[in-house]
Structure 1
Amino acid sequence: MPDRPIVLMLTSMDEAGLRLVREAAEVRMVDPKDRAAVEAAARDADAIITRTAGKVDAQVLDWGPKLRVVGRHGVGFDHIDVPAATARGIQVVYTPGANTQDVVEHAVAMMIGLSKHFPAMMKELEAGNYAARTSMKGREIQGRTLGIVGFGRIGKRLGETCRLAFGMRVLYHDIVQAPEEAELRAGAVRATYEELLRESDYVSLHVPLDASTRRMMDRAALAQVKEGCILLNTCRGPVVDEEAVADALDARLLWGYGADVFDVEPPPPDHPLIGRRDVMLTPHSAAQTEEGLRNMATMVARDVLNVLSGRRPDNAVNDPIEVERIRAELGKAALYR
């Protein structure tokens, strides 16, 4: 019987996915923050599965001469050096769509919570100040304008949800125009970034992190937002200049700010936004649902096992054809039959 492949886990995951991996491979669990342990375990690994905390850079890839595939338990893959993986003939896979509903619901919860001053009201109630209930006036989200920056899976679902549930007017900004069918389902109209900022009562960010999106919500962008806008970030922390957001809140330019992500994770104790009464912040937990965790675990397990058994993955980050070409140039065995 041939040796079973070794899968190095830099994250725990739902039992449904873990069971799939254990049935086909030997599983080794390592704390991603222990670089020495990662180095030792990577030497024999055929695959790595990682989540947000497990950075897979060029050094980690070089520690694993047998590596064939890196699986991202989640959607964003900015903590994986994809070009370095491609250059070494290593396939990278991820789980698009696995947590779409989770993130949409998280964004809607923040829209409603900030509109009705939940953070401030909860603090007042904890302090015994019941009379504070009449001290602040909230607002409905019904019929207001939602601007979605990044109209991918999550952005489209958010637009559809807010249009159908709350009758919101939906604007979107994306480098690629969405298919007409997607625009119609969300009642969405494409706008420039500047138009969206000027007209939206709510701006929700749903972009990947790259050179073009890093700090896209900076002081210049915030200076263009509609007064009283609520800003939401459930994509990647560095997309937003957090100090600039704090200043915009102080100036009452923003009504509130909701985020599930931070520029640095975990955030430092002196973070400029944590503890404010006009923000709703969560610790990168939008996808921490039974459904989301199960979806991500099973999707990444299946695709990692696909690659290890010679089948092309369903959700590749880098091009399998390019990966195969480079493997041939490097004298490595082909991945796919």
Structure 2
Amino acid sequence: MLTGMDEAGLRLVKEAAQVRMVDPKDREAVAAAARDADAIITRTAGAIDAPLLGAAKRLRVVGRHGVGFDHIDVPAATARGVQVVYTPGANTEDVCEHVIAMMIGLSKHFPTMIRELEAGNYAVRTTMRGREIRGRTLGIVGFGRIGRRLGEACHLGFGMRVLYHDIVQAPEEVELRAGALRVGYVELLRQSDYVSLHLPLDASTRRMMDRASLANIKEDCILINTCRGPVVDEEAVADALDARLLWGYGADVFDVEPPPLDHPLIGRRDVMLTPHSAAQTEEGLRNMATMVARDVLNVLSGRRPDNPVNDPFAVERERTALGLEPLYR
């Protein structure tokens, strides 16, 4: 059962299994299709929660067509002997480029310049001053694949100083290539001209960028969120923009998706917002589709996946306890 994917990955799955396409927003249709499904491949919409997993008696694997898996109840999947896989690294370049586009666009006042030009106000070119990003300080919160690639690109491409905050220290060779220094969260906020968020969504990161964090952020900082919407308190960001604590805000994700029409950030000229589209490139979609298809087929064929979310050994242990057939040979 799939919820939409690139033809390259879809072709792989169709060669090995019967495929049903289901609208993820239609919960009844999803539940009905899941009842006798061996595998589910999901993108961002629709929760793969405990009730759905409990009703899917034949289910062996859930494939996440993407990186974030907060809409999948992974503990519930493990408890039912269901493997969860995902596609780390498939959209690293796409998201990295998206962040840099927002850094440049906000630094040069693109939202205002474009709208004023469309309105016939050519003179706007002399009324606002942008700034260069070269040589400024980039703070990266979450130094995983995307954060590391972003640091490397900005350090090598723009001569930026790179600070990062993460629960673990990156290998020395990674830090050297990105010119990156690991610092505390508050220190990063106080020193960075740009702050880019690259965190998974969990209890510790929800609303991490709140009013207290924004009170510590460097004046005229540009804040960018391309990870998960609920990591940021959007009302607090709007207030920080109103108070001119922030130069601008860029986001590809929202607390609620799709965002309501009266969202406090939509329509502002000091923001760049996109509809969760950073990975919507030919390359990114193809990479995600083929990676998830291969790993789902690995599990269905009795082979351990390349990119598991939950521990395959824990999954097998639960299957044994439940009296289910082993997944892996």
TM-score, scaled relative to structure 1 = 0.97
Aligned to 1:286: 278
Give the Cα separation in 2 of the matches to 1:189 and 1:303: 35
Deviation of 1:13 after TM superposition, in Å, equals 0.7
SS of the residue 2:164 aligns to: strand
Say whether residues 1:82 and 2:70 are aligned partners: no
2:161 to 165, 169, 182: 169
Corresponding residue of 2:299: 307
Partner of 1:201: 193
Find the aligned partners of 1:34 and 1:52 in 2 and give their Cα distance. 14
Distance 1:86 1:261 in 2: 28
- How far apart are residue 33 of structure 1 and its match? 1.1
The residue number in structure 2 matching 1:253 is 245
Q: Deviations over 1:135-179 (max 9, x none)?
A: 100000000000000000000000000001000000000000111
Which among 120, 135, 143 is matched to residue 151 of structure 1? 143
C-alpha RMSD over aligned residues? 0.5
Match of 2:209 among 196, 210, 217: 217
Letter in 1 for 2:298: N
**Offset from partner CA, 1:233-287 (integer Å, 9 cap, x none):** 0000000000000000011100000000000000011100000000000000000
Taking only the aligned residue pairs, the percentage that are identical comes to 84
Q: How does 1:133-144 map to 2 (within 5 A)?
A: 133-144=125-136
Q: Distance in 2 between matches of 1:164 and 1:225?
A: 25
Stretch moving more, 50-59 or 301-310 = 50-59
Instruction: Report the equivalent of 1:3.
Output: none
Which of 15, 22, 41 aligns to 1:49? It is 41
| AA at the equivalent of 1:34 | D
In structure 1, how many angstroms separate the alpha carbons of the residues matched to 2:113 and 2:306?
Answer: 46
What is the TM-score with the length of structure 2 in the denominator? 0.99
Deviation at 1:54, TM superposition (A): 2.7
Please point out which of 22, 31, 37 is paired with 2:29: 37
**Residue type of the partner of 1:216?**
M
Return the letter of the residue paired with 2:169. Q
Corresponding position of 1:237:
229
Equivalents in 2 of 1:54, 1:100: separation in Å? Answer: 23
Query: What secondary structure, in the 3-state scheme, does the structure 1 residue paired with 2:32 have?
Result: helix
Q: CA deviation at 1:30?
A: 0.8
Distance 2:187 2:35 in 1: 52
SS of residue in 2 equivalent to 1:12: coil
| Corresponding residue number in structure 2 for 1:131 | 123
Q: Which sits farther off after the overlay, 38-47 or 297-306?
A: 38-47
1:63 aligns with 55
Uncovered stretches (5+) of structure 2, i.e. residues with no partner: none
Question: Which residue type is aligned with residue 12 of structure 2?
Answer: L
| Secondary structure in 2 matching 1:27 | coil
Aligned length: 329
Residue in 1 that maps onto 2:65: 73
